[in-house]
Amino acid sequence: MSQIGALITHPPSEGVEFARIEGEIGKDKGIKVRTLYTGICGTDRGIVRGALKFAYDPSGFDFQVLGHECIGQVESSNSDIFKKGDLVVPLVRRPGDCPNCRIGRPDNCSDGNKHEAGITGLHGFMREYFYEEAKNLVPVKNKDLAKIAVLTEPLKNVVKAFEVFEKVSSRSIFQNEFSTNEGKNALIIGSANEAFLYSFVAREYGFETYMANRHPIEDSKLEMCANFGVKFVDYSKDVNFPTNFGLDLIIDTSGDPSTIVRFLRKATYNAVVILFGTNGRAPDGVITGADIDWIVERNITICGSVDAARIHYEKALDLIQKWHLAHPGVMDRMITGIFKPEETNIFTVKPTGEIKSVIKWNELG
Ligand SMILES: [Zn+2]
């Protein structure tokens, strides 16, 4: 039996270690995938910090392999769909048996009995290789995307949230007289990786797009915004932003109630507010009676959006491909640091200027 290197956790207890584990776990799934890159996100850091109390080990194991953002390469396959050398992105959420799960939308699971790789009861991808079934792998056709397709997983959440936006905004005439979103204003709260991806997709939809945080961001990040025509606002300085227009779409990646309410007061008629960020430790915010009046009188819709389904991974890959062609080199600069699996302090110390830190496991074959 072969042993492989893996990053393992014991949720909901804190900590992470680079350890040797059994390599043949899940071998009966049939497709062996060599991990190329795994991304590190706030969820991984939350698990390592012991802050994600809903995370738990897979049944029959006293550890869980960390990691849900991944691109890998097929090493061997028992499937007609994938062959050796193919690039793949594995799905994170696996269905339970509720009606939404059964129709392929575990992202809208209605009883919570789903599993998430690297988070809730299913081993993740931060290991040298893993085994998977064809139905849980999304093909990546272009070898040029062998590194940046690690952004597929975070981007698929954004694609799904915009699906929510489309459904909600269809209840009224939302677009302008030319049936576009030109002249409509979107605000993305936050300035981490997901905020960038939300901003880029808002630009795809034609929104005048602002990304906001209560502190300045590094020049490299401002440059990244400029590539996509996204304007950054430091609202600790620009305290009344926005002063002369309303916000048609607000997407929050912070999970901070008082920040959300602050901008909710700038939402205009038929605005859509999508809450994506979570932060269970954020202090309480206050919603006043005047805020409720504002929301009701303007038909403002507030909705939550989590995770995504296979169709959103596929659309996310299309977008990565498009941006890779439209903005040569820019997607590569989204990956601000490449680390070795044993450099586990990346989970506790966030590098300065980080957009997306990744761990490299294997060379592209
Ligand atoms: Zn379900």
pLDDT digits (tens, 9 = 90+) for 26-66: 999 999 999 999 999 999 999 999 999 999 999 999 999 99
Whether residue 222 sits in one domain with residue 338: no
Q: Phi/psi zone of residue 72: left (φ > 0), alpha (ψ -120 to 50 degrees), beta?
A: beta
Cα(73) to centroid(ligand 1), Å? 29
| Dist. CA 81–CA 237, nearest whole Å | 54
Contact (Cβ atoms closer than 8 angstroms) between residue 66 and residue 10: no
Cα(103) to centroid(ligand 1), Å? 10
pLDDT tens for 208-229 read 999 999 999 999 999 999 999 9
Whether residue 218 sits in one domain with residue 186: yes
pLDDT value of position 280: 83
Whether residue 90 sits in one domain with residue 17: yes
Whether residue 317 sits in one domain with residue 294: no
| Dist. CA 211–CA 264, nearest whole Å | 15
Q: What percent of the chain has pLDDT over 70?
A: 100
310-322 average pLDDT score: 98
Whether residue 260 sits in one domain with residue 132: no
- Which residue type does 303 have? C
Query: Number of structural domains, the chain?
Result: 2
Whether residue 151 sits in one domain with residue 292: no
- Is the pLDDT at 1 greater than 80, yes or no? no
Scan for tokens 């926005």, then name that residue.
242
Tell whether pTM > 0.95: yes
Cα(120) to centroid(ligand 1), Å? 13
pLDDT tens for 269-288 read 999 999 999 988 899 999 99
**Residue 345 located in a structural domain:** yes
Residue ending a domain, choose from 270, 298, 326 = 298
69-73 average pLDDT score: 98
Whether residue 319 sits in one domain with residue 255: no
| Dist. CA 318–CA 140, nearest whole Å | 9
Residue ending a domain, choose from 298, 318, 349 = 298
Cα(255) to centroid(ligand 1), Å? 24
**Residue 243 located in a structural domain:** yes
Cα(54) to centroid(ligand 1), Å? 16
**Residue 167 located in a structural domain:** no
Cα(56) to centroid(ligand 1), Å? 17
Cα(10) to centroid(ligand 1), Å? 24
**Residue 293 located in a structural domain:** yes
| Dist. CA 361–CA 56, nearest whole Å | 24
Structure token pair of residue 334: 């989204």
| Dist. CA 353–CA 162, nearest whole Å | 27
288-298 average pLDDT score: 98
**Residue 264 located in a structural domain:** yes
Q: What percent of the chain has pLDDT over 90?
A: 98
307-321 average pLDDT score: 98
**Residue 365 located in a structural domain:** no
Contact (Cβ atoms closer than 8 angstroms) between residue 18 and residue 5: yes
Q: By residue range, what is the domain housing residue 265?
A: 173-298
- Is the pLDDT at 142 greater than 90, yes or no? yes
Cα(99) to centroid(ligand 1), Å? 7
DSSP state of 213: E
| Dist. CA 282–CA 287, nearest whole Å | 15
- Is the pLDDT at 290 greater than 80, yes or no? yes
**Mean pLDDT, the chain, integer:** 96
Nearest to 298 by CA among 272, 269, 263, 267: 269
- Is the pLDDT at 145 greater than 90, yes or no? yes
Whether residue 138 sits in one domain with residue 13: yes
Q: What is the CA radius of gyration of the chain?
A: 21
pLDDT band at residue 334 under the 50/70/90 scheme: very high
Specify the CATH number for the domain of residue 206: 3.40.50.720
pLDDT band at residue 254 under the 50/70/90 scheme: very high
Whether residue 287 sits in one domain with residue 331: no
pLDDT value of position 281: 86
| Dist. CA 227–CA 230, nearest whole Å | 8
Whether residue 273 sits in one domain with residue 341: no
For residue 132, give Cα distances in angstroms to 82, 166, 275. Answer: 11, 33, 32
Specify the CATH number for the domain of residue 125: 3.90.180.10
Residues in the chain, how many?
365
Cα(308) to centroid(ligand 1), Å? 13
**Residue 163 located in a structural domain:** no
Cα(121) to centroid(ligand 1), Å? 14
**Residue 182 located in a structural domain:** yes
Cα(162) to centroid(ligand 1), Å? 21
For residue 191, give Cα distances in angstroms to 41, 225, 240, 327, 348. Answer: 13, 10, 19, 20, 19
User: What residues have CB less than 8 Å from 141, skipping those under 6 apart?
Assistant: 87
pLDDT tens for 77-121 read 999 999 999 999 999 999 999 999 999 999 999 999 999 999 999
